[in-house]
Amino acid sequence: TCQYANLVGVDFSRLKLDFVDFSVANMVGASFVGTNLTNSIFIRTDLSAVNFEGATLKNVDFTAAVLDQASFKGANLDGAVLCDVDLETVLDLTKEQLDKVKKFKTKGKVYCP
């Protein structure tokens, strides 16, 4: 578990990190390029400017995560949870990716399963 950890700018690229709990961690500017994060947890994690390009994010829980300027180019978000997340400033997130996410729109621009 990496709960409450300070992991600013850490390069996790191409690692297998499935089932890891990163809840409430500070991960600003971290890189998860090509990383397998299946079933991992990012509840209330600051993921500002994080690069998830090509990452496997199946069933990842992003509840209340900060995703400002986070890039999801080519990421697999099948079954991921986006609850209490503002997607306005997220980068490279396509309609096709969002169609595979567990979410629904509540008042404002917040998404919850």
Q: What is the pTM of this model?
A: 0.90
Q: What's at 67, amino acid-wise?
A: L
pLDDT digits (tens, 9 = 90+) for 10-52: 999 999 999 999 999 999 999 999 999 999 999 999 999 999 9
The structural architecture, per CATH, of the domain 1-94 is 3 Solenoid (2.160)
**Whether 86 contacts 106, CB under 8 Å:** no
Per-residue model confidence as pLDDT tens digits over 50-97 = 999 999 999 999 999 999 999 999 999 999 998 888 889 999 999 999
